Amino acid sequence: MTKIPQSVGIIFKHNFEPARKECQRLEDWFTQRGIAVYTEEMASRSSSSQSLQEETSIPDTVDCVIVLGGDGTLLGAARKVGRYGLPILGINLGGLGFLTEIPSKMLYENIEKLIAGQIAVETRLMLRARVIRDNDEKCSFTVLNDVVINKGALARIIDLRVSIDGRFLTTFRADGLIISSPTGSTGYNLSAGGPILYPNLEALIVTPICPFTLTHRPIIVPDTSVIEIKMGENSEEVTLTFDGQVGFDLTDNDRVIVSKSEEKLKLLKSPDQDYFDILRTKLKWGESSYNNANQ
């Protein structure tokens, strides 16, 4: 980031006292240096919402946004301020995160680099998802990680007819379906057996959840693709979730259309953090072989 910020937004984790206290300290730190500060407490996740847009009190004129919390807090912030093109710097107040990759002990060290214009900006693909019911758009969201169709705990298996760019792919009989961005590939997609994609790649991942047919496997498609999922009959207790935080109830014959968003997230990256280091740490790669070798 080459521009020295004149104003910043701070979004901190809801009902988390360490985040609230750190926000106050950081606000004072910026104020003492003549930098205008706007703060917002990120509300807890919503289990169901028919709202078409999440609002924010952070002005779209700030130079950057700092997120204090974890990856979930940053996902919510991305949906709120990502559409403005505001660069986001994620500070993890717990363990290391894929998105909030800077630990709290390195907060002010990286803020100094931010002020000095020494923080790089990495763009991340975002997804736009729309729900069409009886030829009427009922819901539209822009997300960073994933869009997930999931059945209720006691509901039976669901039929999901999937087309790519208007061409029929297959009908998944499964517990659900994940459409993931490369950034979200290490989330629910990975748990469901999907591949890890380097986060700034331009592609989308389609991953079935517990498919009835074992030959149904994840597929990677170009970022120019438009993915349409049509709900089958008797689709009771089926929910569409956005980044695992906001939900929308689906009904029979609803169409879910997912494509890349026109907006891209600008993620501020510390020069001290490497993506492969984060992968090894989060996924504990090499630990068993190292431990076995030292037993």
Query: Any idea which residues carry the catalytic annotation?
Result: 71
CA–chain centroid gap for 4, Å, is 27
Strands 146-151, 176-180: pairing kind: antiparallel
The span from the CA of 228 to the CA of 215, in Å, is 21
Say whether 86 sits in a helix, a strand or coil.
coil
The two tokens of residue 108 are 């002010």
**Which H or E element spans position 169?**
strand 167-174
Longest dimension (CA), the chain: 63
The two tokens of residue 79 are 């949906």
Cβ within 8 Å of residue 77, ≥6 positions away: 11, 42, 65, 67, 88
Q: What share of the chain is helix, strand, coil (3-state, %, to 5)?
A: 20, 40, 40
For residue 41, the tally of other CB atoms under 10 A from its CB is 17
Q: Is 265 exposed, middle or buried (0-12, 13-18, 19+ CB in 10 A)?
A: buried
Distances (CA, A) of 231 to 173, 181, 225, 256: 11, 22, 19, 8
